[in-house]
Amino acid sequence: MKRNIPISLPVTGEEEWQATREPLMTGWLTSGPKVREFEQLFAQRHQVKHALAVTSATTALHLALVALGVGPGDEVVVPAFTWVSTANVVEYCGAKVVLVDVNPETFNIDPADLRRRITPRTRAIIPVHLFGLCADMDAIRAIAGDIPLVEDGACAAGAAYRDVPAGGLGAIGCFSFHPRKSITTGEGGMVTTNDDRLAEVIGMLRNHGASVSEEQRHLGPRPYILPEFNMLGYNYRMTDLQGAVGVVQMKKLDTFIDERDRWAKYYNQELAEISWLRTPSHTPAYRHGWQSYVTLVDQAKAPMARNEIMEQLQAQGISTRPGTHAVHMLAYYRNKYKLKPSDYPGAQIANDCSMAIPLHNRMSAEDYQYVVNAIKALG
């Protein structure tokens, strides 16, 4: 019988719904006690000193660059295969995007190419832990020297590089709680850092540059005090409705990842016999966050083109997606920086041949078997 298996589906329900009751009943809806609780849980789990909730990973990345002082005349190195906003935030700051190629085996930064992209104007590097697999941070750090690293861990909540959780591997870490991530608050993001000064600045930047938080301003011992605005800030505050959902989701993070890890291993084993499909690289020393399970179609051996494979699977009710996109092949970047697809061959392969298949916490054992059988039947 035909099934309908979406590429992703968040696990939210009664518990998350009940959690929103308190903010709704008290009327404290903007950033407040629920967001603080979520931040504390997140910081604890990721072994970092500070976690600051914001509206998305994109705004987290933007604040990270602003806090590091990135501006016109600076260059920021970004992988050529990532979600577009990893690069967009550099443009928001008026700095230059310098793309670095990825290794299509891991979909993460190719350290050898990184070495070639660094110049005296490089102000930051954004390693992405794509699909939940941490980038090779030791190699990147060795090349970067003093240049600050901003982890784009949008897909990597709960992941780790050797024994160190994502979020504490660079100067600043950034996370997403979009519904396609392993835990969600609808939309939402988190900034992490072990640096007190950066945390203080980011705390102000997310709140219009105000010297006090919303809670301090309205509930503090002297609520009549007007804050000082020392810097040009933004309104990137997470609401307490989202914070309340985040608290519930955070407690389930490792259960979700463990379950995904079991099914990823099942896929790895079952799909190993298919000569035209490369299963995701998984270094056992890392904890994979498994935001997505992304394969690579070997076009030379495959029975048909990647897009046709995706259409055939969709016809059987199985949703797939390209992993993500090559930034240098998107019109804005292609035109602005005069780039050709072959400028970043690893990213080009990843763009043209990657295929995410369903892996999430709303799938049954029968769903996984159905996906495997459908892929095997393609030839």
Catalytic residues: 181
Please name the residues in contact with 227: beta carbons below 8 A apart, sequence gap of 6 or more: 210, 211, 212, 217
Of 23 and 323, the one with the shorter C-beta distance to ligand PLP is 323
- What DSSP string describes 123-158? EEE--B-GGGPPP-HHHHHHHHTTSPBEEE-TT-TT
Q: How far is the CB of 365 from ligand PLP (least distance, A)?
A: 28
> Does residue number 82 form part of the binding site for ligand PLP (CB under 6 A)?
yes
Total site size for ligand PLP, rule CB under 6 A: 15
Q: β-strands 293-297, 354-357: how paired?
A: antiparallel
Nearer to ligand PLP, 128 or 198 (CB): 128
Q: Does 154 bind ligand PLP (CB under 6 A)?
A: yes
**Quick one: which of 67, 68, 128, 250 contacts ligand PLP (CB under 6 A)?**
128
Give the residue with the Cβ less far from ligand PLP, 8 or 348: 8
At its nearest, how many Å lie between ligand PLP and the CB of residue 7? 12
Please give the C-alpha separations between residue 164 and each of 134, 167, 168, 169, 372, in angstroms, as whole numbers: 10, 9, 7, 7, 33
119 or 235: whose CB is closer to ligand PLP?
A: 235
Residues 199-258 binding ligand PLP (CB under 6 A) are: none
Least CB distance to ligand PLP at residue 64 (A): 12
By the rule CB under 6 A, 86 interacts with ligand PLP: yes
Counts of helices then strands in the chain (DSSP H, E): 15, 14
Task: Return the residue of 8, 30, 31, 85 that touches ligand PLP, per CB under 6 A.
Answer: 85
Smallest distance from the beta carbon of 287 to ligand PLP, in angstroms? Answer: 18
Chosen residue from 56, 185, 207, 320 binding ligand PLP by CB under 6 A:
56
**Whose CA is closest to 129, among 264, 292, 285?**
292
Beta pairing, strands 96-100 & 75-79: parallel
Q: Is 212 left (phi over 0), alpha (psi -120 to 50) or beta?
A: beta
Q: How far is CA 258 from the centre of its chain?
A: 18
Binding mask 3-42 for ligand PLP (x = CB under 6 A): ----------------------------------------
Residue whose CB is less far from ligand PLP, 173 or 370: 173
The correct pick among 68, 155, 172, 339 for binding ligand PLP (CB under 6 A) is 155
157 binds ligand PLP (CB under 6 A): no
Answer for the pair 244, 185: CB distance below 8 angstroms, yes or no. Answer: no
Contact 279, 271 (CB under 8 A): yes
Closest by CA to 277, choosing from 298, 307, 292, 304, is 298
Select the residue interacting with ligand PLP from 28, 38, 42, 83 (CB under 6 A).
Answer: 83
Q: Tell me how far apart the alpha carbons of residues 56 and 268 are, in angstroms, rounded to a whole number.
A: 31
Residues forming the site for ligand PLP (CB under 6 A)? 56-58, 82-83, 85-86, 128, 130, 152, 154-155, 176, 178, 189
